[in-house]
Structure 1
Amino acid sequence: MEKQKKIMVLCGGKFAFPSLQLLAYENFICGIGIGQGNDAIIDALERKSEDSNISFKSFPNKKSISEMRVWIDNIQPDYIFCISFPFLLPEIVLSYGQDKFINFHPGPLPQYRGPMPIFEVLKNQETETAICAHFMNAEFDKGNIIFNDPIAIPAGETYGKLTVKLSDRMAQVTLNMANMLQFASSIPNQPQDESLSYYHEKPELSDTYINWKRMSATEIVALINACNPWNTGAHATLQGEQVKIIYASLLNQFHNNQPGTIVSITNTINIACEDKKQIAVEIISTDCGILTPPQFALLYPVIPSTVI
């Protein structure tokens, strides 16, 4: 019987936990490295690694990556999996072995390169995303693709719900990859089609801001969902106040108001959009705290026909 492959996992935090648990249960993991994790997550992983006799190392910043090659050489893994590891691996680390490093990107490649593909696919109203397994090189998300594992995006999906779904699916995808490496003599792969490629930078304030006069109701709801919960909602100006809209849905009612006008407040804050449709806001964050629509109405009385 062939000896069990040893796999080291480099990760960025909680997103990788289901994969780590499943790979450890199947006795694949020989080492865990975490980059830029918070103290609670680092402590939890370190304790779990010690209990399971798995090597553990934290890489808190880019400078610390210089220590990675020595650590890898000491452990001698057969493969290194990356799951949301925040730092680019330099050639000195990648030279450990060709096709030894496999990244699991939570978005389809090459169309959704970048650090936050979950935000981008939701903002762009995609109906499907993917977990892409690809060999790594010295550039972010550019190595040869092994496979894209498609995942449907239901209507109304938020960043948080899709992240949990992808995290759970990632566990099975990484285990399948480990089993392929255990039994296959070679792994089919192909170069990425650069004509389809796009690198999405980390979102800035302007990427999370609702422009009432330029965005349709559907685009606004998609942006709000894409910002919930990582950005605590989408930025907006409402009643002259800077707020964040955390949750909203499309309202099947037309209007004749200026975009950005509060049409009415009942159990929802109904806001006019540029395409003559409305959105119904259910949760909103202000300087006074996270509010329901009736609470918002008490603190910020609506001025009829106010243009935002």
Structure 2
Amino acid sequence: MNSQKRILVLCGGKFAFKALQLLAAEKFLCGIGIGKGSSIISEVLEGESEKNNLAFKSFPDKKSLSEMKPWIENLNPDFIFSISFPFLISEDILSYGKEKFINFHPGPLPQYRGPMPIFEVLKNQEKNTAISVHFMDSKYDEGPIIFKETLKINEDDTYGKLAVKLSNHTAQVALNMANMAEYAKEIPSSIQESTDAYYYEKPALTDTCIKWKNMTASEIIALVNSCNPWNTGADTSFEGEQIKIITTSLFDQSHENAMPGTILVINENGTINVACSDNKQVSIEILKTDIGIITAKQFNYQGNILGKKFK
């Protein structure tokens, strides 16, 4: 009987932790490579690797990738799993073995290629997302699809909530993939449909900024959720001060076509209602201002804000 397959995991940090733990528990994991991770996370992974007799290497920048191929060749894994690894793997490194590099992309492919699909699916108000497992090639997220696991997006999901959900589910998906690699004579895959493909760059300020004049209430809520917590919240401005809105909800009531962005009501519970372009309102609960993260009630204490506008 052949010995169990040995899997090296290339990762970018905390998102891969559950998968690393499960693969280690099932005796598949032989090494960990981390790319551009924080020093604390790198130290934790290095310590755990040493304790469990696993190979470990840090790749802090693109230049350090020149050390990857000889490290992999020395370790000689059967497969290399990539879970949120931040750098593109070159053709030279991929030449280690055909169909040995497998990526776990936290979004539907080919529709949501790019580094932050969690942000994009939330911003676009998708009902479902996916973990897309695919063979890697020398381009981001373009290799043949092995399989996809669909996950429902809940109405109250923020970037943080959905990331945790996907991280937990990726662990089981990675174990399923390891078992497939262990027992299948060959791993089936299919070429991605180019007609459905779209690549999203990393979000810029223009992507995280609320455009009060033309965004509906549901679009604003979706943007706020998609920015929490990685961007602290969605960007806006008030009286010349840069503000981030962290938590908001729908107040489904007409405002009789007030100017979008106008603060209409200060509620008894301290939240503030703001006019949106679709004649609905959003109720803001938590913000970040120059004085820190505060409630809408505290924001109101800074002065008379009724009738003033976010821009």
2-side partners of 1:102 and 1:184: how far apart? 15
- Which structure 2 segments of 5+ residues have no match? none
Read off the aligned partner of 2:262 and give its amino acid letter: T
1:89 CA drift (Å) = 0.6
More divergent stretch after superposition (295-304 vs 50-59): 295-304
Read off the aligned partner of 1:20 and give its amino acid letter: L
Contact 1:239/1:300, CA 8 A, preserved across alignment: no
Matches within 5 A, 1:1-308: 1-256=1-256, 257-266=258-267, 267-304=270-307, 306=309, 308=311
2-side partners of 1:204 and 1:300: how far apart? 31
1:218 CA drift (Å) = 0.5
Q: Deviations over 1:197-243 (max 9, x none)?
A: 00000000000000100100000000000000000000012344320
Question: What SS does structure 1 have at the residue aligned with 2:301?
Answer: helix
1:263 CA drift (Å) = 0.5
Contact 1:239/1:302, CA 8 A, preserved across alignment: no
Read off the aligned partner of 1:272 and give its amino acid letter: A
Contact 2:224/2:245, CA 8 A, preserved across alignment: yes
Question: What SS does structure 2 have at the residue aligned with 1:299?
Answer: coil
Q: Deviations over 1:1-57 (max 9, x none)?
A: 331000000000000000000000000011100000001000000000000000000
Read off the aligned partner of 1:126 and give its amino acid letter: E
- Indicate how the Cα distance of structure 1 residues 29 and 306 shifts in structure 2: closer, same or farther if over 3 A, else same: closer
1:293 CA drift (Å) = 1.2
2-side partners of 1:200 and 1:227: how far apart? 15
- Indicate how the Cα distance of structure 1 residues 307 and 208 shifts in structure 2: closer, same or farther if over 3 A, else same: closer
Read off the aligned partner of 2:81 and give its amino acid letter: F
Contact 2:264/2:306, CA 8 A, preserved across alignment: no
2-side partners of 1:193 and 1:200: how far apart? 17
Question: What SS does structure 2 have at the residue aligned with 1:188?
Answer: coil
Give the share of equivalent positions with the same residue, in percent: 59
Contact 1:251/1:278, CA 8 A, preserved across alignment: yes
How many corresponding residue pairs?
308
2-side partners of 1:303 and 1:15: how far apart? 42
TM-score by length of 2: 0.97
1:304 CA drift (Å) = 2.9
More divergent stretch after superposition (148-157 vs 112-121): 148-157
More divergent stretch after superposition (198-207 vs 265-274): 265-274
1-side partners of 2:240 and 2:300: how far apart? 13
1:67 CA drift (Å) = 0.3
Read off the aligned partner of 2:205 and give its amino acid letter: L
- Which structure 1 segments of 5+ residues have no match? none
Read off the aligned partner of 1:294 and give its amino acid letter: K
Read off the aligned partner of 1:191 and give its amino acid letter: I
Question: What SS does structure 1 have at the residue aligned with 2:141?
Answer: coil
Q: Deviations over 1:168-209 (max 9, x none)?
A: 000000000000000000011000000000000000000000
Contact 2:266/2:306, CA 8 A, preserved across alignment: no
2-side partners of 1:185 and 1:305: how far apart? 66
